[in-house]
């Protein structure tokens, strides 16, 4: 197994760890911007209602 030498910045944290943290924050920010709170739940709820209505109609026929 090779040992990896990581550089440390002024705060003493590994630069690699900081890059991962900033990437995770960026991903979370993009997710929040494109999918506001509750958007997925409303869409799923609407799909479930329409599917149930279609099933009821098909059973009645």
Q: To the nearest whole number, what is the mean pLDDT of the chain?
A: 67
pTM of the model: 0.42
**Backbone φ and ψ of 8, nearest 5°:** -115, 145
The lowest-confidence range among 7-16, 26-35, 39-48 is 39-48
User: Residue 47: which of 58, 39, 35, 36 has the closest Cα?
Assistant: 39
pLDDT score recorded for residue 1: 45
């Amino acid at each position: 197994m090779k040992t990896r030498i990581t550089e440390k910045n002024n705060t003493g944290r590994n630069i690699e760890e900081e890059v991962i943290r900033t990437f995770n924050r960026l991903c979370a920010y993009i997710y929040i911007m494109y999918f506001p709170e509750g958007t997925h739940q409303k869409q799923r709820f609407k799909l479930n209602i329409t599917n149930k209505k279609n099933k009821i109609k098909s059973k009645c026929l």
